Amino acid sequence: VQLIQSGAEVKKPGASLKVSCKVSGYSLMEFSIHWVRQAPGKGPEWMGGFAPEDGESVYALKFQDKLAMTEDLSINTAHMELSRLKSDDTAVYYCAAVVGGRYSPGAYEYWGQGTLVTVSS
């Protein structure tokens, strides 16, 4: 299994960002894709994913009005869109996969390589 993320981005404050995560080797449906970011010198921060209780998307409170996760099964790719960017959104963004699909609780066995996003005027 490989999770292949889109390349680094430089964005201006107020802009939107879209990061893709292509699952290679298996069907996207076999995983629950979550998004985690890591600011420079900081620990990982969970942004959003799927709740195994009902398979619905869930977001961390601070991202509820600016994060959207989508999936395109035809190309085995998950997307994360973050709007109204600020300088403190500068971070490496990771997709991370739970094996077993949206209804499976689990740790992240597979990670993308990370996408560096820089927000600067």
Kindly tell me which residue out of 60, 65, 72, 120 binds another protein, with binding defined by CB under 8 A: 60
Per the CB < 8 A criterion, the answer to whether 67 and 81 are in contact is yes
115-119 and 57-59: which strand pairing? unpaired
By the rule CB under 8 A, 26 interacts with another protein: no
Which residues 6+ apart lie within 8 Å of 75 measured at CB?
Answer: 22
Q: Supply the minimum distance, in Å, between the C-beta of residue 108 and another protein.
A: 6
The span from the CA of 89 to the CA of 83, in Å, is 10
Kindly tell me which residue out of 9, 30, 45, 81 binds another protein, with binding defined by CB under 8 A: 45
Q: How many CB atoms lie within 10 A of CB 22?
A: 18
By the rule CB under 8 A, 107 interacts with another protein: yes
Q: Which stretch binds another protein (CB under 8 A): 11-19, 21-29, 69-77, 92-100?
A: 92-100
By the rule CB under 8 A, 25 interacts with another protein: no
